[in-house]
Chains A and B, each alone.
Chain A
Amino acid sequence: MTIIQFVLLGAALFSIGLYGVLTRKNAVLVLASVEVMLAAVNVNLVAFDVYLGDASHAGQIMTLFLIALAAAEVGIGIAIVLLVFRNRRSANIDELDVMRF
């Protein structure tokens, strides 16, 4: 096992996530895609932690922080989406263009 497979896995996950963020119409799926991108980052952190043999395992600790952060972020995100849905009867982000000039 070399580092390359993990990096490729991370890159693949990140690309899939990015694709989902840029193309999905439903806001919930966009959030899910963001989670996928975060997972890619986590894979990279763990992989490089092991690969570099860090005695303090800072990479893995950072991963734990990121998982907690992702959970909180999803919580807020879902709450926003719910409120938007309640106000507009739709979670379609194409229709959310009120920030336009």
Chain B
Amino acid sequence: MFAALTPFLAAFAFLSEEGGHEVHAGDGGALAQWAWLIVVVPVVITFLIVFFGKKSPLKGWGMATFGMAFVAVYGAVLAWVNLQEGILYEGAIDIGKIGPFALQWGWVVDGLSIMMYFLVGIVGFLVFVYAKGYMKGDVRYTWFFAAFSLFAGGMLVLVSAPNLIQLIVGWELVGVSSYLLIAHYWEDFDNVDAGNKAFMTNKIADVGLFIGAIIMALSAGSFQFSEIFSRMIEGHTLLAQFGFWAGLALFIGAMGKSAQFPFHVWLPDAMAGPTPVSALMHAATMVTAGIYLIARLFPFYQMPEFAGNVDSYIVVIGAITLFFMGLLAIVQDDIKKVLAYSTVSQLGYMMAAMGVGAYSAGLFHLFTHAFFKSLLFLGAGSVIHAVHSNNMSDMGGLRKYMPATFWTFLIGTAALIGLFPFAGFWSKDEIIASAYYNASTDPTAAAWFMVILSIAGAFITAFYMARAVSLTFFGEYNGHGHPHESPKIMTIPLMGLAAFAAFAGFLNMPGITETFIEWVTVRAFPISEHHFTAPNWALISIVTPIVLIALGIGFWLFRPKETQAARDTFDIPVLYPLLEHKYYIDDFYMDGIIRPTMGPLADGTLWIDENIVDAVPNLAGGAAKHVAAAVNTVDQNAVDGVYNSVSAGTGAAGGFLRKALTGRVQQYAAMSFAGVVIIAALFMIF
């Protein structure tokens, strides 16, 4: 079906002036045709666990992990074939029609979706293995793996979507299963609140997604991505007219799932869920959905005639998110919240990268971030498992007790802050370099804003990670009991992820390897982006010292002996309260929007409803009641009276006549004879 696109691709050549990759791709053969299994297996396994999980020997863990292993292996094979010859395939099954729009369930197999299949599979598999140790003895152990499997399955539905409808279905599946998982410990009401918050915040942003999808479908005439791109190449006027609004609305949807400012509030609270959930949710699934949506529609956001003007909004939002949310991580005591704000900040990097047109750089950061952030979360989970507290003030000195966790956490930290040669170094520097290139070719305020904030973000990242590592692993142990290293089932996944965190960066070293770029640019629609042929040494020589300085300051401020005192010296008058209260954004939402809505607004609407809106039906109802009473009287007395008297008369007549029936046969015979005589007499007379 992509053969039909070839003329359009030729027409698009004028856009590839920045050195977009030429795509030579096969259709992947049976491997791609059967790729629907990637989506179906985890979803089917969810139901198998729900129905048979408790009776199975591994209580559902085995099935869930098998599903993820399947996805990982299938994804790896697809990735391998994709790198050899390229795969472009789009399978579809017709389900029905909504008006003029065809409704299809399909599966896209191209570079972008293969990357996500692989990522969800491999990270999911390692996290599921880890969860066996972490969730041991949980009350809802089996149910946890059912919801977890659905979570990964929903993400795969989203990733495999060839149209906006299926994307929304996957989007909502991810949303609902994240709600189930965040509120997993629902006995504690705070966790339920966190689940509700995540769900409702996403729902508000989802309105943008829905509106965007509707605008897109109405103007382009289809929900299919391939159709939308074809309309773009044709220069469809209606689509061009509404392209900006469709792009902006879809971006608002992406902001919700990818926790961009000001929709970030749900993500730190989502830490209420079990740690494996946080690891998967903030690495390979859920939060990457928004980035994925922008990446899927990347050509649409690249053309100034269509949604190109949304880019500056994306850049600004991404830059604000990466910097200001990173700052919040500095003051958190909960180790998972440090990582949560760090996730928000890194998502800001990815989003901003999409905005500056760095498609593969943004996706590369998504790819490496998935490994090192899930590694950090699982490491934090391992610590929490040992200490039975989330607070870093209860930790300290764990380096000695938990060597495996400590070293893997350190690798994750190095990758996150972007130390050479760990994964984050290559991906983050590529984003900063892309931002710089964007600013130098198109010097707008937003572009320079992004460059400065992305470098400042690198500083903050190093600073809060230095603090977290120092407070957790160095100094003296402050908690209760004797911490111990986690079981092998938990440390082995950590090591697996650490290997990826250390080496994944080598997939894309500017000027040396381009494996990752070749991987994700296999798209039916050519991706045009600036392509670096060498590392930007000037930027590296600025960013790397900055990171090292931040590390030094962090370790010095929070050095083991003065942990508590250092915390106090950090009490800068205006900044600290501001950060402590999360810029008052949550308070503003609560006091400025939710409370007035639930309080005066709800009461007012209730009053109007009861007194004004209800007055009309009440009046009508009252009148109808009186009419009914009158009708009832007439019915009871007049209408029923006729029937009652007729039946009473019949009854009386029957009572009288029954006396004639004595049962004596001869009397009957005599009466018959008398009757015959009378009839005969009548015959004679007349």
| A interface residues (Cβ-Cβ under 8 A, vs B) | 18, 21-23, 30, 93-94, 96-101
Contact = CB atoms under 8 A, between A and B. Distances in A.
B543 to A, nearest CB: 113
B666 interface: yes
B665 interface: yes
Residues of B contacting A: mostly: helix
28 contacts: A18-B673, A21-B666, A21-B669, A22-B666, A22-B669, A22-B670, A22-B673, A23-B666, A30-B666, A93-B664, A93-B665, A93-B666, A94-B664, A96-B663, A96-B665, A97-B662, A97-B663, A97-B664, A98-B663, A99-B663, A99-B665, A100-B661, A100-B662, A100-B663, A100-B664, A101-B658, A101-B661, A101-B663
Contacts of B661: 100-101
Nearest to B666: A22
A17 B666 CA distance: 13
Nearest to B654: A101
B60 to A, nearest CB: 76
Interface string B97-127: 0000000000000000000000000000000
Interface string B668-684: 01100100000000000
Contacts of A100: 661-664
Nearest to A25: B666
A22 B674 CA distance: 12
A-B pairs with lowest CB-CB distance, top 6: A100-B663, A97-B663, A101-B661, A99-B663, A101-B658, A22-B670
A97 to B, nearest CB: 3
A98 B665 CA distance: 10
Question: Which size bracket describes the interface of B in this complex?
Answer: 10 to 19
Contacts, number: 28
B684 to A, nearest CB: 15
Nearest to A93: B665
Given A93-B664, A97-B664, A100-B661, 17 more contacts: A18-B673, A21-B666, A21-B669, A22-B669, A22-B670, A22-B673, A30-B666, A93-B665, A93-B666, A94-B664, A96-B665, A98-B663, A100-B662, A100-B664, A101-B658, A101-B661, A101-B663
A66 B423 CA distance: 122
A93 B664 CA distance: 8
A94 B664 CA distance: 6
Nearest to B664: A97
Contacts of A98: 663
A23 B670 CA distance: 10
Interface-centre pick from A23, A94, A101 (highest chain B CB count, 10 A): A101
B667 to A, nearest CB: 9
Contacts of A96: 663, 665
Contacts of B669: 21-22
Contacts of A30: 666
Nearest to A100: B663
A18 B666 CA distance: 10
Contacts of B665: 93, 96, 99
Nearest to B661: A101
B256 to A, nearest CB: 85
Contacts of A18: 673
A96 B658 CA distance: 18
A100 B668 CA distance: 11
A98 B664 CA distance: 9
B445 to A, nearest CB: 109
Contacts of A97: 662-664
A66 to B, nearest CB: 18
A36 B617 CA distance: 86
A94 B662 CA distance: 11
Nearest to B660: A101
Nearest to B659: A101
A44 to B, nearest CB: 15
A101 B659 CA distance: 8
A23 B673 CA distance: 14
B334 to A, nearest CB: 93
